[in-house]
């Protein structure tokens, strides 16, 4: 029993501390990773994994991953994808992903975090030995935010492996930890009780049962501690102490029905039937599909009978019979409805899932009697995981069907683009080729100029920087000298003087202005470079746009064809699995309901007899008191029984005899 109690407490804690602790306070440097977290925080794990898978594929596909923004989150991303897969009930894949991190060349803190997560997967999958071997591999640095988490998980794993002494040590060290408030103390109590340290265990559970908190999960574990302690003491016959703990269980908490039932029994055990009526009357008015409520509905008339109020007892048995009859009808309708396939249809109704408490809402669905007993069905792990699988498959089916439509749209887009670009591109390419040759020529010219200027830094060439006018003038002088002839110039010294003067003027200007012209030439080159940079930008932009135009309609056919085949195959597989999973759920549900029906039928028969007996007694009690007195005198043994406390209380050992003697005394 402690194992079951412990396991349910574990689940309660798991819900309480789900992956938020690992992803909170993370400074985001990659918006797409943030987008994956956005889906994960909403419980949309398919979208979260899909987003992160895409990012990881792209990250590992680039040449320089250190330039990708996911680089800053790569460890978290690898972990998170494992976490999300675990939440999406893909335990096998999640385990492999985390195992890969452990075996990689990573820092001890990262490795330990991965081991912790892997151990948690094994623990949640109830692979307790694997979980133990894994958690014991943790050594060295542990990330600060995981120190208490690791210790708590280790304690839990020790408990499920029967190592209660080790678990006790761990939970003792966690007693003050705020993050595990209530849960550590509760587990400490269970560990101690398992080692037969009765007194210490009871003290710990009592402590867990007095924690004050506003947290719903902590309040639930507080109730559970009180209920566990109360029922344990009740079993041992310590009735007053048991009542003290059972009374601490909140009336609106998840354990209140069982606590109320226990409280009634504690009073019945002390033959205080009047007091037993108080909790049982409250309980009997609650949802009749709950087993504790059904038991209280029979407990109330039983107590009235014990108080001698046979008429009231008979009336209450009648009410219980009516309720049982109604429930049997509901069960019949439910079973037939499930067999007609309506159960599965009700489960996938969209409007139900808009509410966080959709499971409870299912009971209130009109025209869906098959869902009345779903709450108790949901208590089974197998049923719950099968049901979740069914939901997941339904979600996959819807996605795949919508994707199948996407491919048509993609093909339409591609066809339109092809239709638009194909006639335009040849003339654009032709123009581009012409422009491209001009651009290349200009770039070569610029490079030549640059080379010449660089060489002039070493060996100055003022003539290279002569202006166009100076060149024309120089050429004109040369032509003039040629025309006059050297002999004539020698004969006309005036003409020779004038020509020399003109040459001198040109030479003077070219040489004296050389430095200034050289600086200007470099300025001009820099200005040219700016224009060339702009030209290159436009050129690159054009090339990109040109490539994008082609890429917008070429090279998709094969990919789309492959994806379409994959999608259709997946649809077919999903439909087959849904049929199988649905059938399995129906069988499980029908089995459960049939079982409930058999129990109710059995109690119906007994209640009928009890009601008949109550009517008999009511009739008998109306006989004259003297006659009763005379009967009592004839049966002294019975009178003794009535005066001995507990003699009429139902017991496991001698119930038959007790009832028989009771019967004799009352007749």
Partner 1 sequence: MMCFYCTIRTQRKVFIYMSRFFRGFSLLVLFAVTTISMGEEVSKEQIKGLDEQVQDIKKDVLGISAELNMLEEKLLYPSNTQISLFVAMSEKDKFRLDSVEIELDGKSVAHHIYSFKELEALQAGGMQRIYTGNVRTGEHQLKVGFIGKSIAGNEHRKFENYTFKKGAGPGLIEIRLAGPGVNTKSIQFKDW
Under rule CB under 8 A, residue 258 binds partner 1: yes
Tell me the C-alpha distance between 341 and 345, whole Å.
Answer: 7
Distance of CA 622 to the CA centre of its chain: 66
Interacting positions 384-423 with partner 1 (CB under 8 A): 385-386, 389, 392-393, 396, 399-400, 403, 406, 410, 413-414
DSSP 366-427: TT-GGGTTHHHHHTSHHHHHHHHHHHHHHHHHHHHHHHHHHHHHHHHHHHHHHHHHHHHHHH
Binding segment toward partner 1, per CB under 8 A, in 83-91, 154-162, 440-448, 635-643: 83-91
Of 13, 79, 171, 302, the residue at the interface with partner 1 (CB under 8 A) is 302
Interacting positions 36-75 with partner 1 (CB under 8 A): 37-43, 46, 49-51, 53-54, 57-58, 69
Q: If DSSP states are collapsed to H, E and C, what string results for 616-649?
A: HHHHHHCCCHHHHHHHHHHCHHHHHHHHCCCCCC
Residue closer to partner 1 (CB basis): 6 or 518: 6
Tell me the C-alpha distance between 56 and 463, whole Å.
Answer: 63
Of 147, 605, 623, 639, the residue at the interface with partner 1 (CB under 8 A) is 605
What are the start-end ranges of the H helices in 144-182?
A: 147-160, 164-173
Closest CA to 192 of 228, 219, 217, 223: 228
Residue closer to partner 1 (CB basis): 281 or 450: 281
Under rule CB under 8 A, residue 319 binds partner 1: no
Of 138, 234, 359, 374, the residue at the interface with partner 1 (CB under 8 A) is 234
- Give the count of residues interacting with partner 1 (CB under 8 A): 116
Q: How many CB atoms lie within 10 A of CB 550?
A: 14
Asked if residue 334 lies in contact with residue 592, where contact means CB atoms within 8 angstroms, the answer is no
Of 472, 587, 623, 640, the residue at the interface with partner 1 (CB under 8 A) is 587
Residue closer to partner 1 (CB basis): 431 or 602: 602
18-35 burial, b for 16+ CB within 10 Å, e for fewer?
Answer: ebeebbeeeeeebebbeb
Binding segment toward partner 1, per CB under 8 A, in 26-34, 181-189, 324-332, 420-428: 26-34
Closest CA to 317 of 611, 636, 665: 611
What is the smallest separation between the CB atom of 118 and partner 1, expressed in angstroms? 17
Tell me the C-alpha distance between 341 and 337, whole Å.
Answer: 7
Closest CA to 96 of 81, 76, 75: 81
138-171 burial, b for 16+ CB within 10 Å, e for fewer?
Answer: beeebbeebebbbbbbbbbbbbbeebbebbbbbb
Binding segment toward partner 1, per CB under 8 A, in 324-332, 372-380, 453-461, 638-646: 372-380
Interacting positions 513-542 with partner 1 (CB under 8 A): 540-541
Under rule CB under 8 A, residue 316 binds partner 1: no
Under rule CB under 8 A, residue 597 binds partner 1: no
Of 321, 377, 465, 638, the residue at the interface with partner 1 (CB under 8 A) is 377
What is the smallest separation between the CB atom of 127 and partner 1, expressed in angstroms? 12
Asked if residue 224 lies in contact with residue 255, where contact means CB atoms within 8 angstroms, the answer is yes
Tell me the C-alpha distance between 235 and 583, whole Å.
Answer: 41
Under rule CB under 8 A, residue 152 binds partner 1: no
Under rule CB under 8 A, residue 506 binds partner 1: no
Q: How many Å from the N-terminal Cα to the C-terminal Cα in the chain?
A: 42
Of 567, 597, 618, 638, the residue at the interface with partner 1 (CB under 8 A) is 567
Residue closer to partner 1 (CB basis): 463 or 613: 613
Count helices and strands (H / E) in the chain.
30, 0
Of 68, 71, 72, 91, the residue at the interface with partner 1 (CB under 8 A) is 91
8-state DSSP, 463: G
Of 68, 175, 271, 295, the residue at the interface with partner 1 (CB under 8 A) is 295
Under rule CB under 8 A, residue 357 binds partner 1: no
What is the smallest separation between the CB atom of 510 and partner 1, expressed in angstroms? 47
Under rule CB under 8 A, residue 485 binds partner 1: no
Residue closer to partner 1 (CB basis): 294 or 368: 294
Residue closer to partner 1 (CB basis): 139 or 215: 215
Tell me the C-alpha distance between 478 and 299, whole Å.
Answer: 134
Under rule CB under 8 A, residue 545 binds partner 1: yes
How far, in Å, are 47, 155, 421, 553, 562 from residue 410 at the CA level?
21, 54, 16, 10, 14
Binding segment toward partner 1, per CB under 8 A, in 142-150, 176-184, 432-440, 568-576: 568-576
Interacting positions 547-566 with partner 1 (CB under 8 A): 548, 551-552, 556, 559-560, 563, 566
Of 525, 532, 577, 647, the residue at the interface with partner 1 (CB under 8 A) is 577
Under rule CB under 8 A, residue 271 binds partner 1: no
Under rule CB under 8 A, residue 648 binds partner 1: no
Under rule CB under 8 A, residue 90 binds partner 1: yes
Asked if residue 511 lies in contact with residue 429, where contact means CB atoms within 8 angstroms, the answer is no
Under rule CB under 8 A, residue 28 binds partner 1: yes
Under rule CB under 8 A, residue 1 binds partner 1: yes
If phi over 0 gives left and psi between -120 and 50 gives alpha, with beta otherwise, what is residue 177?
A: beta
Under rule CB under 8 A, residue 380 binds partner 1: yes
For residue 460, the SS3 value is: coil
Binding segment toward partner 1, per CB under 8 A, in 130-138, 226-234, 452-460, 625-633: 226-234
Tell me the C-alpha distance between 415 and 413, whole Å.
Answer: 5
What are the start-end ranges of the H helices in 459-513?
A: 468-484, 486-491, 493-512
What is the smallest separation between the CB atom of 587 and partner 1, expressed in angstroms? 5
Binding segment toward partner 1, per CB under 8 A, in 88-96, 150-158, 463-471, 510-518: 88-96
Binding segment toward partner 1, per CB under 8 A, in 2-10, 128-136, 190-198, 496-504: 2-10
Under rule CB under 8 A, residue 376 binds partner 1: yes
Asked if residue 56 lies in contact with residue 33, where contact means CB atoms within 8 angstroms, the answer is no
What is the smallest separation between the CB atom of 601 and partner 1, expressed in angstroms? 9
Of 610, 618, 638, 665, the residue at the interface with partner 1 (CB under 8 A) is 610
Asked if residue 192 lies in contact with residue 201, where contact means CB atoms within 8 angstroms, the answer is yes
């Amino acid at each position: 029993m402690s194992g079951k109690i412990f396991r349910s407490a574990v689940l309660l804690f798991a819900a309480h501390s789900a992956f938020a602790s690992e992803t909170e306070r993370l400074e985001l440097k990659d918006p797409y990773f943030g987008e994956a977290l956005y889906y994960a925080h909403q419980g949309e794990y398919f979208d979260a994994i899909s987003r992160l898978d895409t990012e990881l594929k792209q990250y590992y596909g680039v040449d320089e991953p250190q330039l990708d923004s996911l680089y800053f989150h790569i460890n978290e991303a690898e972990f998170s994808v494992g976490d999300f897969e675990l939440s999406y009930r893909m335990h096998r894949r999640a385990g492999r992903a985390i195992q890969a991190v452990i075996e990689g060349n990573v820092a001890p803190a990262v490795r330990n975090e991965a081991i912790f997560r892997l151990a948690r997967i094994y623990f949640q999958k109830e692979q307790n030995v694997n979980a133990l071997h894994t958690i014991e591999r943790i050594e060295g640095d542990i990330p600060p935010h995981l120190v208490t988490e690791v210790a708590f998980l280790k304690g839990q794993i020790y408990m499920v492996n029967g190592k209660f002494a080790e678990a006790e040590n761990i939970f003792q060290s966690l007693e003050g930890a705020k993050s595990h408030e209530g849960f550590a103390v509760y587990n400490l109590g269970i560990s101690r009780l398992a080692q037969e340290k009765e007194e210490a265990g009871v003290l710990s559970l009592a402590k867990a049962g007095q924690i004050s908190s506003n947290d719903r999960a902590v309040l639930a574990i507080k109730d559970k501690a009180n209920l566990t302690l109360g029922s344990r003491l009740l079993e041992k016959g310590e009735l007053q102490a048991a009542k003290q703990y059972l009374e601490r269980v909140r009336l609106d908490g998840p354990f209140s029905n069982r606590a109320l039932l226990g409280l009634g029994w504690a009073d019945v055990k002390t033959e205080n039937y009047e007091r037993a009526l108080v909790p049982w009357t409250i309980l009997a008015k609650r949802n009749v599909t709950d087993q504790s409520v059904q038991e209280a509905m029979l407990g109330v008339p039983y107590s009235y009978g014990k108080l001698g109020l046979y008429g009231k007892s008979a009336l209450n048995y009648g009410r219980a019979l009516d309720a049982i009859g109604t429930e049997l009808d509901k069960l019949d309708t439910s079973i037939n409805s499930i067999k007609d396939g309506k159960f599965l249809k009700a489960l996938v109704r969209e409007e139900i899932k808009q509410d966080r408490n959709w499971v409870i809402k299912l009971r209130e669905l009109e025209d869906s009697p098959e869902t009345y007993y779903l709450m108790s069905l949901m208590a089974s792990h197998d049923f719950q995981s099968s049901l979740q699988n069914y939901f997941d498959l339904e979600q996959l089916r819807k996605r795949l069907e919508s994707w199948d439509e996407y491919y048509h749209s993609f093909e339409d887009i591609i066809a339109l683009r092809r239709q638009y670009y194909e006639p335009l591109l040849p003339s654009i390419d032709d123009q581009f080729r012409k422009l491209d040759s001009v651009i290349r020529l200009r770039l070569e010219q610029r490079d030549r100029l640059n080379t010449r200027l660089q060489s002039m830094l070493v060996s100055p060439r003022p003539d290279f920087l002569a202006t166009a006018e100076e060149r024309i003038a120089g050429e004109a002088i040369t032509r003039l000298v040629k025309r006059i002839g050297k002999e004539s110039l020698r004969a006309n010294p005036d003409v020779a003087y004038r020509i020399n003067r003109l040459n001198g003027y040109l030479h003077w200007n070219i040489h004296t202005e050389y430095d200034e012209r050289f600086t200007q030439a470099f300025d001009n080159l820099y200005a040219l470079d700016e224009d060339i940079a702009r030209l290159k930008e436009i050129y690159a932009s054009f090339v990109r746009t040109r490539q994008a135009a082609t890429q917008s309609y070429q090279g998709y056919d094969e990919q789309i064809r492959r994806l379409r085949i994959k999608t259709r195959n997946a649809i077919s597989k999903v439909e087959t699995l849904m049929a199988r999973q649905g059938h399995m759920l129906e069988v499980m549900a029908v089995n459960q309901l049939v079982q409930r029906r058999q129990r109710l039928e059995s109690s119906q028969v007994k209640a009928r007899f009890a009601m008949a007996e109550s009517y008999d007694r009511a009739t008998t009690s109306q006989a004259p008191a003297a006659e009763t007195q005379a009967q009592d005198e004839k049966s002294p043994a019975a009178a003794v029984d009535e005066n001995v406390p507990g003699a009429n209380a139902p017991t496991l050992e001698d119930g038959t005899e007790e009832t028989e003697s009771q019967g004799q005394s009352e007749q």
